[in-house]
Amino acid sequence: MIRLNIGCGQTPTEGWHNLDNSPSIWLAKMPHLVKALDTLRVLSSHQKQYIEFARTNNLILANATKRIPFDNNSVDVIYTSHMVEHLDRREVLAFLSEAHRVLKEGGVIRIAVPDVKRIVDSYTEHKDADKLVSDLYLAVPKPRGYMRIINLLIGARHHHWMYDETSLKRLLENNGFSSAISLPPGQTTIETPGALNLSERAEASIYVEARKTSKK
């Protein structure tokens, strides 16, 4: 089986192909450039740690809104966790188009995202506006120093759109997928999930799965 974890960050899945668009994956293959950037004190300790992680975990560099590097109708399962909310509305449609292209007929896509309903319910209960804005992650500090260059290269890392179960299922069913269902942590319709963490970030997530159908 070909199974993809897209936007894996530092939580790749053993036995799966793990993809991410972090420049750290590219830098992991250029040790001399990393050394130069480190000498210039451009890299944070977190970035250096991720570069080393990418080097030792065989991560695949890919921007899934432009091209998922697999053939048409070749992939059995796609999983992505807390990635889709970082895409704007144009980008998420491009990602779903690519996911549809590479999945086999009947292949499964599983998406985990922060649950906006849970965040709003928390605000309704506690009336803490600062926590609401922080939890939505729609407002982030303006970039300063070298972070302005990073933002130009890869974009800001805040959320561009938020979802609840209904809106995420509707998004999938409007873009070539059918039988969209929401699932509790730990459950899946994937026949052989292997080492996939079915409860990743369960305290904040909703999980929706759907299957590829032919686009009309």
The reported pTM is: 0.88
Q: How far apart are CA 45 and CA 60, in angstroms?
A: 22
Lowest pLDDT segment from 11-15, 39-43, 190-194, 202-206:
39-43
Cα angle value 129/135/141 (rounded, 5°): 90
Going along the chain from its start, the domains and CATH numbers come out as 3-21+62-115+161-212 (3.40.50.150)
Give the CA distances from residue 137 to residues 40, 100, 132, 141, in Å, rounded to whole numbers and listed in that order: 31, 28, 9, 10
Q: How high is the pLDDT of residue 154?
A: 47
DSSP class of 179: E
Tokens of 197: 């963490």
Q: How high is the pLDDT of residue 59?
A: 92
**Mean model confidence pLDDT for the chain:** 90
Bridge partners, residue 212, by sequence:
177
Only one residue has tokens 């530092």, namely 10
pLDDT band at 34 (very low <50, low <70, confident <90, very high): confident
CB 95 within 8 A of CB 84: yes
Chain segment 100-134, per-residue pLDDT in tens: 999 999 999 999 999 999 999 999 999 999 999 99
Chain segment 24-33, per-residue pLDDT in tens: 888 888 888 8
Bridge partners, residue 208, by sequence:
111, 182
Q: How high is the pLDDT of residue 144?
A: 59
Lowest pLDDT segment from 50-64, 94-108, 195-209:
50-64
Q: How far apart are CA 200 and CA 40, in angstroms?
A: 36
